[in-house]
Amino acid sequence: MIIGLTYDLRIDYLKSGYSQEDVAEFDSEETINALEETIRGLGYQTDRIGNIYALTARLAAGDKWDLVFNFAEGLYGRCRESQVPALLEAYRIGYTFSDPLVCDITLDKSFAKRIVRDAGLATPKFKVIETLEDVRDISLHYPLFAKPLAEGTGKGIDQNSQIESPDQLRQVCENLLKRYSQPVLVEEFLPGREFTAAILGNGQDARLLGIMEIIIPKDDKAIYSFDAKERCEELVKYRPCPPGALYRKIERLALDSFRVLQCRDTARVDIRCDAEGEPCFLEINPMPGLHPHHSDLPMIATQEGMSYRDLIGTIISNALKRLSLQTAAT
């Protein structure tokens, strides 16, 4: 069985003049090497395809793969994460992770929150700011939290993201609207503990892999910002969520969110507690980072005693089972 790898290599875009923030969601050569080596170690043949432009050329040339391990984030637009999955679907080639619709919905945080909210799951109240005029209509309770509507890796999040007044809200929204050329998501700030939960599987067979608490001891506001994620070894502490009532509530919320949003194979759910200590959905990543040591999903796997090899093998097995493909390498 031949597994193709689709990805966006960070260094390629840096050489083309993009900034570090522009390519923050893209992968390093170290990640791609680790993933390819692991897949080969599982008994599969691999083929490095690359980004969507390379994939387009390969498909036009008639190339095919038994499965594509897709972790290409895309570069342009709020539908960027769905571009590779949509192209693969057009050619009827199976791939890992969620389908184009789910990728679009989950990247636009307001759509994901609406679906979660309408399913009766807890998520902070919010409003989408498309122009500065929308700021005047805010009726949420301060403090608030503002971030770009369709970004990941903490892009656009810093110490100014927690907002205490209407004047500050207007200033922050003006900056984000100009900087990212997209709407701003404003939601009521949750002052409690922050967690990220990893899910493996599909549908009713999906299960919780583990829950990791995110602690930022050097920061009074405890914001998991872009800078904190880039310098996580220095600024962030991680620890397992202990068993108990809170663990069970987070597990249920994460699994329910995963299922109602129809994610596939794996996902990572970001959760924060409100003033009463009740967990609330923030967002979900249907294509989480896979650096073996620095990405949250592999860190949770390690925390739970699962090796990187077993994590990648489980993701592939989930996809093959979902696609009704033969699991044995050929």
pTM, 2 dp: 0.92
Q: Write down the pLDDT at residue 249.
A: 98
Model confidence pLDDT, tens digit, residues 44-59 = 999 999 999 999 999 9
Q: What are phi and psi of 17, to 5 degrees?
A: 105, 5
- Exposure of 29 by Cβ count < 10 A (0-12 exposed, 13-18 middle, 19+ buried)? exposed
Model confidence pLDDT, tens digit, residues 177-191 = 999 999 999 999 999
Q: Write down the pLDDT at residue 224.
A: 75
What domains are there in the chain, each with its CATH number? 2-97 (3.40.50.20), 127-188 (3.30.1490.20), 191-322 (3.30.470.20)
Q: Write down the pLDDT at residue 325.
A: 47
Q: Write down the pLDDT at residue 304.
A: 98
- Who's near 61: CB < 8 A, 6+ residues apart? none
pLDDT mean over 277-290: 97
Q: Write down the pLDDT at residue 330.
A: 39
CB 142 within 8 A of CB 135: no
Q: Write down the pLDDT at residue 324.
A: 82
List, as one string, the DSSP characters of 163-205: E-SHHHHHHHHHHHHHHHSS-EEEEEPP-S-EEEEEEEEEGGG
Model confidence pLDDT, tens digit, residues 117-154 = 999 999 999 999 999 999 998 999 999 999 999 998 78
Q: Dihedral of CA 304/310/316/322: which sign?
A: negative
| Mean of per-residue pLDDT scores for the chain | 93
Q: Write down the pLDDT at residue 326.
A: 39
| pLDDT over threshold 90, residue 92 | yes
Q: Tokens for 305, please give them.
A: 């005693």
pLDDT mean over 250-269: 98
Model confidence pLDDT, tens digit, residues 294-326 = 999 999 999 999 999 999 999 999 999 999 843
Q: Dihedral of CA 318/301/284/174: which sign?
A: negative
